[in-house]
């Protein structure tokens, strides 16, 4: 794993943490209906998850 991948992975893990942390205290987001505050947090996480999954696939690694 090179440094560029590490940076992406760290950002992805950080976004996952933020998204989980918000969902833990937000009933709307727990119901799968993202609130105004949670929406950008979850969107960032999903974007980074996509980027990471694609990169891992291109490089022949498991996501």
Residues that bind Zn ion (CB under 5 A): 26, 28-29, 35, 38
- Shortest reach from residue 34's CB to Zn ion, in Å: 6
- Shortest reach from residue 42's CB to Zn ion, in Å: 8
Which residue number has the CB closest to Zn ion?
Answer: 38
The candidate with the shortest Cα–Cα distance to 16, out of 50, 49, 54, is 49
The candidate with the shortest Cα–Cα distance to 14, out of 61, 59, 52, is 52
- Shortest reach from residue 47's CB to Zn ion, in Å: 17
């Amino acid at each position: 794993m090179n440094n560029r991948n590490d940076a992406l992975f760290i950002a992805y893990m950080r976004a996952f943490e933020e998204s989980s942390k918000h969902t833990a205290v937000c009933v709307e987001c727990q119901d799968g209906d993202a609130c105004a505050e949670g929406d950008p947090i979850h969107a960032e996480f999903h974007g980074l998850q996509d980027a990471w999954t694609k990169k891992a696939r291109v490089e022949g690694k498991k996501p």
